[in-house]
Structure 1
Amino acid sequence: MDDDLDGLSREELIAEAKRLRAGIRRHRDASGQELCWHHPALWGLLPEPLDPAIAVPPWPKFLRGCVRYRESLDAQAPGAPVDDREFGEE
């Protein structure tokens, strides 16, 4: 799966590591409503094509998952600032 790395020079490998780190940092630094969204840009950092056919749970299960995710943020980052803007607000 990662055979594309075998032929890269040291400099190319360093450039690839920097590119991947930049993408991971963009995802890590997401905040507010961005935390809840589909992230094809992150997955697009991989060399294999992105399959847009995703499976999503039905609404009630999806919303329960969102609530559990938000609860996990309260537990893992209890001192995080609150961003009280509605989606789409600047």
Structure 2
Amino acid sequence: MDEDLERMTREELIEEAKRLRQGIREHRDCSRHDLCWHHPALWALLPDKTDPVPVVPEWPEFMKGCIKYRQSLDEQLPNAPRTDDSYEE
């Protein structure tokens, strides 16, 4: 699956590492409501091009997942800054 790496020069590998790091940083630096969005741009960094369509839970189950995710943030980042800013598109 990663045979393309075997054919890259040192310089190409360095550029690839920089490109991947930038994509990871963009994803890492998401905050507030941006944490909740679908991030196909991150997966587009991979050389194997697919267009996966996610299986989307029905609303009640989806909201349970959102709550679980938010609880995990409280556990993993108890001292992170909090906001009560409203969501706006």
> Which category of TM-score, normalised to the shorter sequence, fits these structures?
over 0.9
The equivalent residue for 1:14 is 14
How large is the RMSD of aligned CA atoms in angstroms? 1.2
Q: TM-score, normalised by structure 1?
A: 0.92
Contact 1:23 1:45 in 2 (8 A): yes
Name the SS of the counterpart of 1:50 in structure 2: coil
Contact 1:27 1:42 in 2 (8 A): yes
Deviation at 1:84, TM superposition (A): 2.2
Q: Could you tell me which amino acid in structure 2 is paired with residue 18 of structure 1?
A: K
Ranges in structure 2 where 5+ consecutive residues have no aligned partner: none
Whole-angstrom distance in 2 between the partners of 1:80 and 1:50: 35
Identity among equivalent positions (%) equals 61
1:19-58 superposed matches below 5 A: 19-58=19-58
Deviation at 1:88, TM superposition (A): 2.2
Structure 1 range deviating more: 43-52 or 33-42: 43-52
Deviation at 1:3, TM superposition (A): 1.0
- Residues matched between the structures, number: 89
For residues 27-50 of structure 1, give each alpha carbon's deviation from its aligned partner in whole angstroms, at most 9, with x where no partner exists.
111100000110001111101113
